[in-house]
Structure 1
């Protein structure tokens, strides 16, 4: 439970300075999330911009090199003109030959003269015509092919990435298919730790949640998940996981204390949470003092005195607990006992300067 201990200690350290102004009650402050910079996005944007600039420059350079010259265009136009006029005489001569032939003989002899062969006469000119046209058509086709060749990988890259991720996920599922739920949970937990070390917080959270789905009693995964959720200001989700943990095992005193602290921030049922765990933590001095502070916060001083005294019987040298006991005794008008408790807190030598000043002021307020 070292992680839970650390989170409680951090919260206690933040709230100890405000005990005086709160009448001895613990001031609860929300845990702030660590914001991680994302330099990878800048690198990706820079790379994409470089590729786009390169592609545009290549297209313009290709157009400049393959643009046909004006002389070639004029030559092609001159060469193309006779090619259009030359077939006209052939078309005029062909009908008389067909008309002069008797109707009976026309069908067998019509294919023989092969009027279709007349157009090859201007073949020299016809061959010249495409020469002027080819340079304008070929570059257009080559440019479109080049553009398709360059753009296709760019368009396909996200799908390729998704395909790669999908293949890895399928391979992972196939590898875990024959394992038990406990073994699958352990594998997911290790993947979650790797994702957390690489800074992929959302992936890590998903992995730890899957771990708990396979094995709800995986305490290491639950504690790590709760810590990540609190750091990322997802306290409500963290509280749900803590409630699930306590439902499985209500004897987790530190888990109950952490849940109660978050519930106090939201004016929730913190005391109810602690009292459900109390039968399993009656001999835990820290737990009894924490419950006493929660009761004192709700002005339930008689119950707070009972739990402070129980905590001090288990660990008598805690000056903060003596101070808390003195506050509740003073509220109950048990001034003599309150003075004794404040003196114990003052002479214990473990109070911060602010709390030391607070205790001295309380002693001055008590009647002699």
Structure 2
């Protein structure tokens, strides 16, 4: 107010040479009109003052450079935050001056995107993402080492029984045999017998392959192992006895083999006839004749066995019974020509002996 009043007084003083306000030509303004003029001047001065203050505030508070969002990977703040992380983050060159990134205006997306070095994200979230990304390679080996254990549990979960393993190995051997891989088949059969020494199919197949390969000693050893575990195998006993008879002085061994399995072949005519032939070879004619007779009870029309019975009876000094046996063999007409001729000679011999 005082500034405006002084301005008015100066104007009044400059109106007359002597500074009086009642000079000629100048009329005093009535008190009412003077009040209205002062109000307008006051309002204008107040408006100008407010505008000057506002402009000065804006000018002094204006930042020198507008805030710029920059890459987290290129800011000093992010670099300091990422210092403890073992995984290196590539830093791109920055052409413009780097300033601090305001955190408040950045709004995180609802779905977290995959972090890249060029993204503009909040430093805290960037640090979390880089930390997680650096931790992933350390977790990978754990998954790799856990995978074989899971697969082993699955294999154990199949619960393959020992018998199934044996059959699988035996089928593999047969498949190799069909492919002509005899050596591999032998190895697979031996593996089958290691898993189950009582597997007769594998044993007999292996013995046959060994015999075809001209390896009779190994075949005999396999048969001995099998009969030692289970003597109730007349067919294997006969096979082993034949191999033993091929040896010099192998009769006693063959006879021992047959006698041990005889209790399990009482109704087997082939077995008894074979045993009778071994007994006859060992000059045990009476026992041989007995087993031939038991064999013929199972096959009365076997001309070969009748011929064998006649030989045993003749050697055991029973010529009459021997002659009857030879006549039965001749009458069946099933002998081969050489054997038929042999029987006829025996009949002539016995007839001549009885006529004397």
Shorter-chain TM-score bucket reads: 0.5 to 0.7
Superposed CA deviations along residues 67-108 of structure 1, whole A, max 9, x for unmatched, are xxxxxxxxxxxxxxxxxxxxxxxxxxxxxxxxxxxxxxxxxx
Structure-1 separation of matches of 2:212 and 2:236: 16
Structure-2 separation of matches of 1:213 and 1:194: 19
Compared CA separation, residues 218 and 293, structure 1 to 2 (3 A): same
Pick one of 209, 214, 219 that aligns with 1:233.
214
Pair 1:181-2:162 in alignment: yes
Residue 178 of structure 1, CA deviation = 6.1
Aligned length: 195
Structure-1 separation of matches of 2:211 and 2:240: 11
Alignment correspondent of 2:274: 290
Compared CA separation, residues 265 and 193, structure 1 to 2 (3 A): same
Residue 319 of structure 1, CA deviation = 0.6
The list of structure 1 runs, each at least 4 consecutive aligned residues, that deviate by more than 4 angstroms after superposition, is 174-178
Q: Mark the runs of 5 or more structure 1 residues left unpaired by the alignment.
A: 1-173
Superposed CA deviations along residues 90-128 of structure 1, whole A, max 9, x for unmatched, are xxxxxxxxxxxxxxxxxxxxxxxxxxxxxxxxxxxxxxx
Pair 1:224-2:208 in alignment: no
Pick one of 323, 330, 333 that aligns with 1:346.
330
Pair 1:303-2:301 in alignment: no
User: Which fold has the larger relative contact order, with Cα–Cα distance below 8 Å and residues 6 or more apart in sequence?
Assistant: 1
Structure-2 separation of matches of 1:178 and 1:192: 22
SS at match of 1:289: helix
Q: Mark the runs of 5 or more structure 2 residues left unpaired by the alignment.
A: 1-153
Residue 249 of structure 1, CA deviation = 2.1
Structure-1 separation of matches of 2:155 and 2:307: 59
TM-score computed with the length of structure 1 as normaliser: 0.51
Residue 256 of structure 1, CA deviation = 0.9
Structure-2 separation of matches of 1:330 and 1:247: 37
Structure-2 separation of matches of 1:298 and 1:217: 32
Alignment correspondent of 1:214: 195
Alignment correspondent of 1:3: none
Structure-2 separation of matches of 1:198 and 1:175: 29
Structure-1 separation of matches of 2:203 and 2:273: 26
Superposed CA deviations along residues 338-365 of structure 1, whole A, max 9, x for unmatched, are 1001001100111001100000011111
Structure-1 separation of matches of 2:198 and 2:192: 9
Structure-1 separation of matches of 2:155 and 2:209: 28
The Cα RMSD (Å) is: 1.8
Worse-superposed segment, 274-283 or 178-187? 178-187
SS at match of 1:355: helix
TM-score computed with the length of structure 2 as normaliser: 0.52
1:96-175 superposed matches below 5 A: none
Pick one of 257, 275, 283 that aligns with 2:259.
275
